[in-house]
Amino acid sequence: MLVVKNLVFYAHDTESNAGATGRAIIDNISFTFEKGKFYAITGPNGSGKTTMAKLIMGINKADSGKILLNGDDITDLSITDRARAGIAYSFQNPARFKGTTCRDLISIAAKTEDERKIREIITRIGICSMDFLDKSVDSKLSGGEIKKIELATTIALNPMIAIYDEPDTGIDLWTIEPMVKLLKREQAEHGTTTIVVSHNRQFLEAADILIIIKQGKFVYNGGLNDAIPLLNDLSLCNYADICEGEYNARCYR
């Protein structure tokens, strides 16, 4: 169980190194993520979705509030210690490395160099080809390929809490459904608490609990059906002026 209490995060002016500015990106959020549930967090661009996810992983440090994992206060733990405590994070824009291969990353995540075990993980993940294993995770990979590897490394950790930030970015339409099924299977078989940040209809439909975040606050949590009026509210989207009326934008707008 993951609990966030009165979590606050201000915009930081990294350019001037002036520290926190007046605007709260995450504005006093309290919420309990129950063990083994599948959560989808959605909301307009700039509403705080990714910031929230990064606060849980420790990539962003909260300005105030607490984060508890199974009752233990992890607010001040480093990224490394949170990873070791069982939290995993799949990045929206995964890092690219020169020389480091997919095998290297999976080997680090799974803490094994055993060929058989690494192949078992790739087989279990399903959406990654065995050909990926010895590919360098560099700029030669397509956006879709690197996202699949990113997802594979997250699953290879066997995390207690798995956070996926926009997992469908760059993924072809045909891979999204297998990806959703994979996350659901991990949830069912390993009791993984799954938190997906997404606008994608299929992830929203797959979630046990949908959370809508707007201006740094959770404005809704519950089932998808009850959320439809809110999701249909075009004010949720910053790009409404651009895409209104667009056929099949693949989101609830």
Partner 1 sequence: MLDAIDKELLKTVADLETLPKGAYNIRKNGQLLGREISANINIETNKEGNGIIITIKPGTKGESVHIPVIVSQAGLNDVVYNTFIIGEGSDVTIVAGCGIHCGTSKSQGHEGIHEFRIGENAAMKYIEKHVALGEGKGQRVLNPTTRVFLEKGAHAEMELSQIGGVDSANRLNEATLGAGSSLFITERVMTDGNQTAVSRNEILLEGHGSSTNLVSRSVIKDDSSQNFYATLDARAKCFGHIECDAILMGNGRNETIPALKALHPDAELSHEASIGKIAGDQLIKLMSLGLTYDEAVNRIIRGFLKK
Compose the 38-67 pattern: x for residues touching partner 1 by CB under 8 A, - for all others: -------------------x-x--------
Give CA 145 to chain center in angstroms: 17
**Interaction of residue 88 with partner 1, rule CB under 8 A:** yes
**Interaction of residue 15 with partner 1, rule CB under 8 A:** no
**Interaction of residue 239 with partner 1, rule CB under 8 A:** no
Query: Least separation, in Å, of the C-beta of 97 and partner 1?
Result: 6
Question: What's the CA gap between 231 and 160, in Å, rounded?
Answer: 29
Of 6 and 142, nearer to partner 1 (C-beta) is: 142
Query: Are 157 and 109 spatial neighbours (Cβ–Cβ below 8 Å)?
Result: yes
Would the CA dihedral through 69, 75, 79, 80 be positive or negative? negative
Of 25 and 162, nearer to partner 1 (C-beta) is: 162
Binder to partner 1 among 2, 146, 157, 213 (CB under 8 A)? 157
Question: What's the CA gap between 11 and 238, in Å, rounded?
Answer: 18
Question: What's the CA gap between 65 and 4, in Å, rounded?
Answer: 7
**Interaction of residue 153 with partner 1, rule CB under 8 A:** yes
Query: Least separation, in Å, of the C-beta of 187 and partner 1?
Result: 20
Binder to partner 1 among 32, 93, 123, 238 (CB under 8 A)? 93
Of 75 and 107, nearer to partner 1 (C-beta) is: 107
Of 101 and 175, nearer to partner 1 (C-beta) is: 101
Strand order, beta sheet including 161-165: 87-90, 161-165, 193-197, 38-42, 209-214, 217-222
User: Checking DSSP bridges between strand 2-13 and strand 64-69, what pairing results, if any?
Assistant: antiparallel
**Interaction of residue 104 with partner 1, rule CB under 8 A:** yes
Question: What's the CA gap between 21 and 7, in Å, rounded?
Answer: 16
Question: What's the CA gap between 173 and 250, in Å, rounded?
Answer: 10
Binder to partner 1 among 55, 105, 152, 162 (CB under 8 A)? 105
Q: What are phi and psi of 251, to 5 degrees?
A: -145, 165
The type of residue at 214 is K
Question: What's the CA gap between 54 and 165, in Å, rounded?
Answer: 9
**93: number of Cβ within 10 Å:** 13
Compose the 173-212 pattern: x for residues touching partner 1 by CB under 8 A, - for all others: ----------------------------------------
Bridge partners for 26 per DSSP: 9
User: Site for partner 1 (CB under 8 A): how many residues?
Assistant: 26
Binder to partner 1 among 6, 45, 70, 78 (CB under 8 A)? 78
Query: Least separation, in Å, of the C-beta of 113 and partner 1?
Result: 13
Residues that bind partner 1 (CB under 8 A): 57, 59, 78-80, 83-84, 88-89, 91, 93-101, 104-105, 108-109, 111, 153, 157
